[in-house]
Amino acid sequence: MHIEHLRIQGPGGLIAIQAQGPTDGPAVLMTHSILSSSMMWIAQAQLLAAKGFRVIRADTRGHGQSESSAAPYAMQDLVNDSVAVLDGLKLARAHYIGLSLGGMSGFGLGIAHPDRLLSLVLCDARADMTPALAAPWDERIAIAQSQGCQALALHTAERWFGTTFLQAHPATAAQFVNAISQTSVAGFEGCARAIQGLNYLPQVAQIRVPTTLIVGANDGPLPAAMQDLQTRIPGAALEVIPGAGHLPNIDQPEAFNAALVRHFSQCF
């Protein structure tokens, strides 16, 4: 399937996007986790494009092929980047799929820009940041500043997937280690500071678009956090993916894809 590689001017620099699927199909904007890139959505983009959607995968600022601006960033900066992609492509509204960092900014998008959304799928993300969860980012930032993001690569991949999965899937392991290593230090630090300042929880009840929350059952405190979010967002659905970690679309793709299909079948 043909993939278009485009660049959109965003508030913090050029945003690299990859577009596929019929140009007249309903738009889907996909955003990824910190220290990753749009490559993490390849399989899901192919699935949705084959079902008639116009799929837009965006590299977060300072990640993948997108330009970075100077750190720090606020989460609202990443929300503004998503709006800039929609504006640049002249898309009035889109379905939005975000995981981890992309899910966090997705809460902000749903709160501030409901008129631009058809629906939300927010995965493995929370809407607030506790001091205990914010603290480890300081050490990770210091490591990246002194040694580059490649120094974070193996530990981050192990935290996301576990060593057993990485050993069993060496190609996937190499793909993610490479994506982490290539992330710009400014992009990582900027997004990490945005995560530390995350504070959308008091406003998530304002979200009024169809919303599905997806989380890996083994993703630490996030299943409980997303169960709480389900009670706060009117009409939200919750899908817990058995046997999955922080990136359930990668380690349990069949179950994740089935949850995606259920979401879109309920939107039409």
Compute the CA torsion angle 189, 107, 39, 49 (nearest 10 deg): -160
Pairing of strands 27-31, 54-58: parallel
User: What pLDDT score does 266 carry?
Assistant: 87
Is the model's pLDDT at 257 over the cut of 90?
Answer: yes
Average pLDDT over residues 198-207: 98
Residue with tokens 């359930």: 248
| pTM over the 0.95 mark | yes
Residues above pLDDT 90, as percent of the chain: 99
Give the gyration radius of the chain's Cα atoms: 17
User: What pLDDT score does 33 carry?
Assistant: 98
Is the model's pLDDT at 22 over the cut of 90?
Answer: yes
- Give the separation between CA 251 and CA 166, rounded to whole angstroms: 10
User: What pLDDT score does 217 carry?
Assistant: 98
- Give the separation between CA 26 and CA 31, rounded to whole angstroms: 17
Write the CA distances from 224 to 44, 63, 91, 238, integer angstroms: 25, 29, 34, 11
Give which of 200, 155, 193 is closest to 176, Cα–Cα: 155
Q: Which residues, in sequence order, are CB contacts of 77 under 8 Å at separation 6+? A: 11, 12, 61, 190, 194
Question: Are 144 and 189 spatial neighbours (Cβ–Cβ below 8 Å)?
Answer: yes
User: What pLDDT score does 39 carry?
Assistant: 98
- Give the separation between CA 203 and CA 75, rounded to whole angstroms: 14
Q: How many CB atoms lie within 10 A of CB 16?
A: 21
User: What pLDDT score does 267 carry?
Assistant: 78
Is the model's pLDDT at 268 over the cut of 80?
Answer: no
Per-residue pLDDT tens over the stretch 88-125: 999 999 999 999 999 999 999 999 999 999 999 999 99
Residues above pLDDT 70, as percent of the chain: 99
Average pLDDT over residues 184-191: 98
User: What pLDDT score does 207 carry?
Assistant: 98
